[in-house]
């Protein structure tokens, strides 16, 4: 049996979800693929736990939640973090779940490049470095014969990249149109059903933990724009970056506009569209009984093809264990190919 030695970088909601998913599924993976998933290091922004013999996933989560730092992990906690962890630990795969940074893509960019240049494979949920430096990241991965997987960066648990590449290879895809941000979909859904204002609904979403304290990336369409860039590069092979996206958010949508649309049988949704002709994110009218009429924090995407016509996928766009499920799928796909 082979060990797959994993460094998990970033231990917020998604990182903890990855640890939980590994705890739940590692025996199944061991039985099916004869590969033992071993977390040899887990790091947050200021601390880590490191053990070549493997760390206990449940103790990692308990330590972080009770102590607020991984340095308190019994016997193996320390203050090493970031690139120093990659320099000091023997590993096979970096699972990168640090927060998205759309200004310079850090620390994900440096961590990912460091892993590739060491010949290591990378699975990420991060959008920042992909939206800004996708072509550069792929080139460095290819140069070092490393696998690079990023399904979780677009739709959380909604399978779209793997689906398009592995389930629809017979068809040419002309465009992808969908709802790629769960927070804005929740806000617009609540405004539609409750008749409430944007301001009040945003505040309610923040109280429920659905919207961030600073909701700018979601409500101004930045998060969805990053995802369109990733889809453009990965599925359409268009070397786009964030600056190529026409972006308009939902912060100017009024309850009056939603009510008027509702009377005509329409909903207002934040729609992302990706094709070789252009990338856009903007509020649009969609028919009330169409596939776009999803509610809550769900994501959806309609893939338009030449042979299969339109294929629509729907799934949870956020959530720690849901996003982690996509990252674990990427890990399993690497195991299938290389182990």
Mean of the pLDDT values across residues 228-249?
96
Q: Are residues 74 and 169 in the same domain?
A: no
Q: How much is the pLDDT for 264?
A: 96
User: Do 194 and 271 have their domain in common?
Assistant: yes
pLDDT over 90 (residue 212): no
Q: Is 309 left (phi over 0), alpha (psi -120 to 50) or beta?
A: left
The domain total for the chain is 2
Residues 131, 25 share a domain: yes
Predicted confidence at residue 292, as pLDDT, reads: 97
User: Which residues fall in the annotated binding site?
Assistant: 10-15, 127, 212
Domain that holds residue 239: 164-316
111 and 243 in one domain? no
Residue 235 CA, chain-centre distance (Å), reads 16
Residue 209 has a pLDDT of: 82
Residues annotated as binding site for NADPH? 127
- CB 160 within 8 Å of CB 236: no
Spatial distance between the Cα atoms of 166 and 168, rounded to a whole number of angstroms: 6
Q: Is the pLDDT of residue 319 over 90?
A: no
173 neighbors 303 (Cβ within 8 angstroms): yes
Task: Check whether residue 117 and residue 36 sit in a common domain.
Answer: yes
Report pLDDT for 318: 81
> Please, are residues 337 and 147 in contact by the beta-carbon 8 Å criterion?
yes
Report the percentage of the chain scoring pLDDT > 70.
100
CATH number, domain at 81?
A: 3.40.50.720
Cβ-proximal residues to 137 (8 Å cutoff; 6+ apart), any chain: 109, 112, 113, 116, 129, 130, 148
pLDDT at 145: 97
Closest to 158 in 3D by CA, of 1, 313, 27, 327 = 313
pLDDT band at 317 (very low <50, low <70, confident <90, very high): confident
Examine the domain organization and report whether 332 and 277 are in the same domain. Answer: no
Is residue 157 helix, strand or coil?
coil
The C-alpha atoms of residue 166 and residue 158 are separated, in whole angstroms, by 15
The pLDDT score that the predictor gives to residue 304 is: 97
CA distance 73 to 164: 41
Residues above pLDDT 90, as percent of the chain: 95
Backbone φ and ψ for 5, nearest 5 degrees, come out as -85, 120
233 and 298 inside one domain: yes
The SS3 call for residue 173 is strand
Regarding whether 60 and 192 lie in a shared domain, the answer is: no
Average model confidence (pLDDT) for the chain?
96
Position 216 scores a pLDDT of: 94
**44-88 pLDDT tens trace:** 999 999 999 999 999 999 999 999 999 999 999 999 999 999 999
pLDDT attached to residue 203: 95
Average pLDDT over every residue of 139-165:
95
Q: With cut-offs at 50, 70 and 90, classify the pLDDT of residue 276.
A: very high
In this structure, what DSSP letter does residue 99 have?
A: P
Angle at 221 between CA 204 and CA 182, to 5 degrees: 50
Question: At 170, which CATH number?
Answer: 3.30.360.10
Binding residues for NADP(+): 10-15
Q: Is 256 left (phi over 0), alpha (psi -120 to 50) or beta?
A: alpha
Annotated binding-site positions for L-homoserine:
212
**Do both 123 and 175 map to the same domain?**
no
Q: Do 172 and 309 lie in a common domain?
A: yes
Question: How many whole angstroms separate alpha carbon 334 and alpha carbon 339?
Answer: 8
pLDDT at 227 over 90: yes
Say whether both 131 and 168 belong to one domain: no
Asked if residue 288 and residue 211 are part of one domain, the reply reads yes
Residues designated as active site: 227
pLDDT for residue 62: 98
């Amino acid at each position: 049996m082979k060990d797959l030695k994993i460094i998990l970088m970033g231990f917020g909601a998604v990182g903890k979800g990855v640890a939980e998913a590994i705890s739940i599924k590692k025996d199944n993976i061991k039985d099916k693929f004869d590969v033992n998933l071993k977390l040899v290091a887990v790091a947050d922004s200021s601390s880590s736990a490191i053990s070549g013999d493997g760390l206990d996933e449940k103790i990692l989560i308990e330590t972080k939640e009770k102590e607020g730092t991984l340095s308190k992990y019994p016997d193996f906690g320390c203050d090493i973090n970031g690139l120093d962890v990659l320099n000091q630990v023997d590993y096979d795969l970096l699972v990168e779940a640090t927060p998205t940074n759309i200004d310079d893509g850090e620390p994900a960019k440096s961590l990912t490049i460091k892993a590739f240049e060491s010949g290591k494979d990378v699975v990420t949920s991060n959008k920042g470095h992909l939206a800004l430096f996708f072509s550069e990241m792929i080139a460095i991965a290819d140069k070092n014969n490393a696998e690079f997987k990023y399904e979780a960066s677009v739709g959380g648990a909604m399978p779209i990249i793997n689906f398009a590449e592995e389930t629809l290879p017979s068809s040419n895809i002309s465009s992808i149109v969908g709802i790629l941000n769960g927070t804005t979909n929740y806000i617009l859904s609540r405004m539609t059903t409750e008749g409430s204002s944007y301001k009040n609904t945003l505040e309610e979403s923040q109280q429920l933990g659905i919207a961030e304290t600073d909701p700018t990336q979601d409500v101004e369409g930045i998060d969805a724009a990053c995802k369109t860039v990733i889809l453009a590069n990965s599925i359409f092979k268009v070397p786009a970056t964030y600056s190529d996206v026409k972006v308009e958010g939902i912060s100017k949508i009024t309850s009056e506009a939603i009510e008027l649309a509702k009377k005509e049988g329409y909903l207002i949704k934040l729609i992302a569209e990706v094709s070789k002709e252009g990338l856009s994110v903007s509020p649009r009218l969609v028919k009330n009984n169409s596939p776009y009429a999803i509610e809550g924090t769900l994501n959806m995407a309609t893939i338009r093809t030449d042979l299969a016509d339109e294929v629509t996928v729907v799934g949870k766009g956020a959530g720690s264990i849901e996003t982690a499920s996509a990252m674990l799928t990427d890990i399993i796909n690497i195991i299938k190919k290389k182990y």
